[in-house]
Structure 1
């Protein structure tokens, strides 16, 4: 980017007392051309360049010139963001499109350096995308079957599993037993697992709510704070990650007048209330709930749950209404970023989410985690599994959850 800079003012607009530079022969000097210095670093997708701004050429001017720079550099696209210091911009040019370049993630098996930091993958410019989940009560994720939802959750589990300060519970609405489905390789790292049985899910959700209440009642006496995140999770007071896959299985409104259907409808209604409790009241005591479903419409994830989940992602969707349910009405203003455009097989593993702190949405290539790698991490970290209710009992000296209790009938079941 070049900028012509004149060193003199026109006579009519020159401030009073301004000295005009001139050559020895009395002529005004020609304009100077200033070229910003670039520091360029190449990588697998393209280049990153840092440039210093010039007078009247700042971030906005660089951003307007981005399409022309992409043509001149022969790049698929170029983005411009503020640099690392004032007066600097960072230009990102990609020659290979990261969104259609499949990637794989091999878990290290080492504890994460920072708690509740979700490494999602890379954006359309090949830049890493991290989502901080501290103080976040819930995540809602939607997308068509086979487009990457479960693999995205698997990476989070594999990256966090080596830490004793994180404990997991899985609800998988696609299967009936722990040895089936997508979480079969990870289940040994979970302190609880539930399949598609609504009665069993109801019992386990009640236990989690009892645990939430026990933590709420004892957090100040045990941790000395009202919010667990003020001290961070620990092996004695771990972050509890509740994964509810195919969430519509547990919340669907069953229609019918026969006793069996009424029973299912009562369980589903109470399950929704119990999950609402975890999402709305569990953040400060260390609960994080991840809900996935195909369409995050109100019939799949009740709006009183979905709308209090600050983080929302969507893989490919078939309709604009499904995209709006997952990402909010603002996605209508950004049609190029809509997950409706991701139905091509090339976009398996690509998700859309809103940009934190900036307008618009970002498209993310999430990596694939091989089953054998997930199994390896789960087996190596199974020794870290502790039931958080038992940990709380040791801290408080009293029983907070009766894990032997049966609740065969939902209290709201109609005759």
Structure 2
């Protein structure tokens, strides 16, 4: 938010400085002038917008029925009335404080008798016209105040970029997603969340979203990553190659290698169940939170359909692949349904999250779902559920086009309905830098557990998993 002050700018405003600089009010005006001149073009436009709103509010509020009429005479009215006529009613205009940002303005308005949240919400479309905003939203701030958010620039069509800080997150398992259509930050608390689904057409923003998650969480030793990427053959190619040295395990599109990884993580879950009483003091990791000795394990399954889709055919090889796909689905189901308390989070990404891509017995138990652009309503329903039909404005079918790359719809756990979110671009160079700087934090979470003695009398054990990191 900085820009060089040009000579033309200074000359233009010198008369104002000369007139006002002799008083305390003038000093304030000079400070505002300097702030304005130091701002970039977007903030300057918002500053001018905020000034117009303040100057016109007392006239605009009564027009929109956002003012109250006081007909009760006061003691001063009685003293000032000499002709015996009742005093004129007074118009009370709610107080308004306005601040700005690059997208528009945020106003805090008072409430009056008969003028509350409902009245402000009814007036929102007219406030948008009067304030020259793309859209206006009104929410309750305190019992006596409302918050009015007006956006001049549409945050959904304004591309943004995120530069990872390289600092460990202050709050465990908080996923910073981006901003909503009113430029308000959107975060999701992934504590006690077993799984997340991410859907969308190729190139719509899925990989950048996951890149941000990994880049923001990678500086924490309390998080470890594993990845199955169905688009590639090895860890040295594809969208996650630059992050591979921050993963304790990575597999490509080979179903058998993926099966080994999923078995390995299921074994980790079982071993953690056995170790939890002694290491955690209870059966739920989230009661104490992730730590370096018991990290949150994040499994990324990209192009998830690669590992689960049915293989049609009667030849021996096809039957083998079909059996592997069925077992992969069963293993991931185990992780999603039983891994939450043990600190295992599964993120499944695919283009179209229909039942053949992500089995419904996995997809439907993932409480957090996002969808970037989709081509059909059926694909949108598969990604977000039937309720998306009742929210046509948020339908990801409407997110096709270059201006909406990076925009997703989601069912936020703490809000009704659906949000549209502008997720920022995270470049591979930025995330590669973070992965390089944090590679020393990578460790296999299985090696952090005490040696678990064989369990006896519990029936036939599952086939043993390979030990040690996979190719990365």
| TM-score between the two structures when normalised by the length of structure 2 | 0.80
CA displacement, residues 60-113 of structure 1 (integer Å, 9 cap, x when unaligned): 111111100000000111111111x32211111111111111111111111001
Residue 7 (1) aligns with residue 64 (2)? no
By how many angstroms is 1:359 displaced?
2.3
Residue 45 (1) aligns with residue 103 (2)? yes
Residue 327 (1) aligns with residue 398 (2)? no
Matches within 5 A, 1:113-192: 113-192=170-249
Aligned residue for 2:172, secondary structure, equals coil
1:359 aligned residue (416, 424, 428): 416
By how many angstroms is 1:31 displaced?
2.6
Residue 32 (1) aligns with residue 90 (2)? yes
Which whole-Å CA distance do the structure 2 matches of 1:26 and 1:200 have between them?
A: 95
Aligned residue for 2:299, secondary structure, equals strand
Residue 219 (1) aligns with residue 276 (2)? yes
Aligned to 2:6: none
CA RMSD of aligned residues (A): 1.8
Aligned to 1:15: none
Higher alpha-carbon Rg: 2
Tell me the number of residue pairs that the alignment of Structure 1 and Structure 2 aligns: 392
Aligned to 1:408: none
By how many angstroms is 1:397 displaced?
6.2
Aligned to 2:311: 254
Aligned to 1:385: 442
**Do the aligned partners of 1:137 and 1:287 also contact (CA within 8 Å) in 2?**
yes
Which whole-Å CA distance do the structure 2 matches of 1:255 and 1:244 have between them?
A: 23
Higher relative CO (CA 8 A, sep ≥ 6), structure 1 or 2? Answer: 1
Which whole-Å CA distance do the structure 1 matches of 2:124 and 2:192 have between them?
A: 36
Task: Return 5+ residue gaps in structure 1 as ranges.
Answer: 10-18, 406-415
Matches within 5 A, 1:190-269: 190-269=247-326
Aligned to 2:118: 60
Which whole-Å CA distance do the structure 1 matches of 2:389 and 2:417 have between them?
A: 10
1:272 aligned residue (322, 329, 346): 329
**Do the aligned partners of 1:6 and 1:30 also contact (CA within 8 Å) in 2?**
no
Matches within 5 A, 1:55-134: 55-83=113-141, 85-134=142-191
Aligned residue for 1:185, secondary structure, equals helix
By how many angstroms is 1:30 displaced?
2.7
Which whole-Å CA distance do the structure 1 matches of 2:372 and 2:431 have between them?
A: 22
Aligned residue for 1:140, secondary structure, equals strand
Task: Return 5+ residue gaps in structure 2 as ranges.
Answer: 1-60, 456-463
By how many angstroms is 1:296 displaced?
0.9
Aligned to 1:403: 466
**Do the aligned partners of 1:40 and 1:50 also contact (CA within 8 Å) in 2?**
yes
